[in-house]
Amino acid sequence: VIDGHVYAGKDRYGSEILALYLSAILHKPLTPLVTERNISLGREIVPVATKRLLSTIFSYKSLLCVYGKCFYCKREDPVCEDGNNLLSGAILVNVNVTFVNNRSPWQRTYKKGKLALWETLDDYCQLVKPKISTHRLLDLVDVSIFDFLLQNGDRHHYETLDGNVVLLDNGKGLGNPYTHHLDILAPLYQCCILRNATWSRLQQLGGGMLKRHLESVPNISNFVTKEHINAIEHRLNIIYAAVEFCRKNRGMP
């Protein structure tokens, strides 16, 4: 359980894996292929690693650790092998294409005590509509539903390929199963717009169907707890409530 703000804690590899299956369940297969993998740094990585990566691998209490090369990577915050000299994580397919990086209109400030404009204006969507197409706005509503179910509140940018939104960087989900950050759904309840196909699929997943789909994911107990599965099921009902709010208060058909 990760306490704190919506983007608290390190990335969770289980969230990346579940994102793949959830996107398929929602009929939005827009995430990279990913699977769980146990690796040995000593046997599988060190012999083939580049000098750049090798410079971030070190031994600590007879265990190999790595911190890698990235914006937030630092030696003081590595990941280390377990007592069996294995490191558990997710392996993602490296898609050799160039994605277009887009700033999300619902980006957070990431500054304590400072709210973004969308967090203060009820009619914020009226500022967004002139800047992006209706098709793209519907895409972002779909993304908000996907992120809300996972509780990934860190979608500060989104990527597109050939004009289609793809769901990359899903590791901040599955933080606290007892907390539901409603503001992740802001694109839905502020704009009150939703694809018919999306709504139809969400209705099909009611009555416990979403939970049954999730429980059928191979080896899901390795990386997702029952509490998180129950939380995702509960969040579907919250999405239903948001749609009902839009119908009663914003004239959504």
Count how many Cα atoms sit within 13 Å of the Cα of residue 154 in the half-sphere of its side chain: 19
The one catalytic residue among 77, 123, 154, 162: 154
Q: End-to-end CA distance of the chain: give it in Å, rounded.
A: 38
C-alpha to C-alpha distance for 39 and 181, rounded to whole angstroms: 34
Are the C-beta atoms of 157 and 120 separated by less than 8 Å? no
d(CA 59, CA 230): 39
Is residue 3 among the annotated active site residues?
Answer: no
CB 164 within 8 A of CB 30: yes
**Structure tokens of 91?**
């392996």
159 assigned binding-site residue: yes
Is residue 82 part of an annotated ligand binding site?
no
Amino acid, single-letter form, for residue 133: S
User: Residue ranges for the binding site?
Assistant: 11, 159, 169
Residues serving a catalytic function are: 154
User: Residue ranges for the binding site for ATP?
Assistant: 159, 169
User: Residue ranges for the binding site for Mn(2+)?
Assistant: 11, 169
